[in-house]
């Protein structure tokens, strides 16, 4: 597999990647940016708190739709959401990279998310039926995610 960032020492770092996962790109991007710089243990706890609505994912780039929530003040912004599907996908990727760390006999508590990247994948097309016999697009916006500890 080809990773965008090759500057990390393979013996001291772990990496994982998921391609064309069926989660919204924008939600996953914002969730990933919230995880950058966290330790592995903190990132796992944070994602579980997002699933339980105890912590929010701040939306800093794609702010056109999310509403204002009081929890977002803790993150230094006003807008945020709790994207459950994106949180589950990234939680699975973090568990995968933690397993890689244990195989390489690295201490999982010391590992920090140094690089996380989310790219858009090709859209999957479906169709929806409109008035007067027309057909409109009904697209999904999947994404690719890569993670290096």
114-147 residue pLDDT tens:
999 999 999 999 999 999 999 999 999 999 999 9
Q: Say if CB 50 and CB 112 are below 8 A apart.
A: no
H or E segment to which residue 4 belongs = none
Stated pTM of the model: 0.92
Q: Say if CB 59 and CB 86 are below 8 A apart.
A: no
Q: Say if CB 83 and CB 50 are below 8 A apart.
A: yes
Q: Say if CB 57 and CB 34 are below 8 A apart.
A: yes
- Residue keyed to tokens 């950058």: 36
Q: Say if CB 85 and CB 30 are below 8 A apart.
A: no
């Amino acid at each position: 597999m080809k990773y965008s960032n090759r500057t990390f020492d393979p013996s001291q770092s772990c990496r994982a990647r998921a391609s064309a996962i069926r989660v919204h790109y924008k939600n996953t991007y914002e969730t990933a940016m919230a995880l950058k710089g966290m330790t592995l243990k903190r990132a796992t706890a944070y994602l579980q708190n997002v699933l339980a609505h105890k912590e929010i994912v701040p939306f800093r780039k794609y702010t056109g739709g999310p509403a204002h929530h009081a929890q977002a003040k803790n993150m230094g912004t006003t807008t945020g959401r709790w994207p459950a599907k994106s949180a589950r996908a990234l939680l699975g990727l973090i568990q995968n990279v933690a397993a890689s760390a244990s195989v390489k006999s690295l201490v999982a508590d010391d590992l920090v998310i140094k690089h996380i990247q989310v790219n858009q994948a090709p859209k999957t097309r479906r169709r929806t039926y409109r008035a007067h016999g027309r057909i409109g697009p009904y697209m999904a916006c999947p994404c690719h995610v890569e993670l290096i500890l």
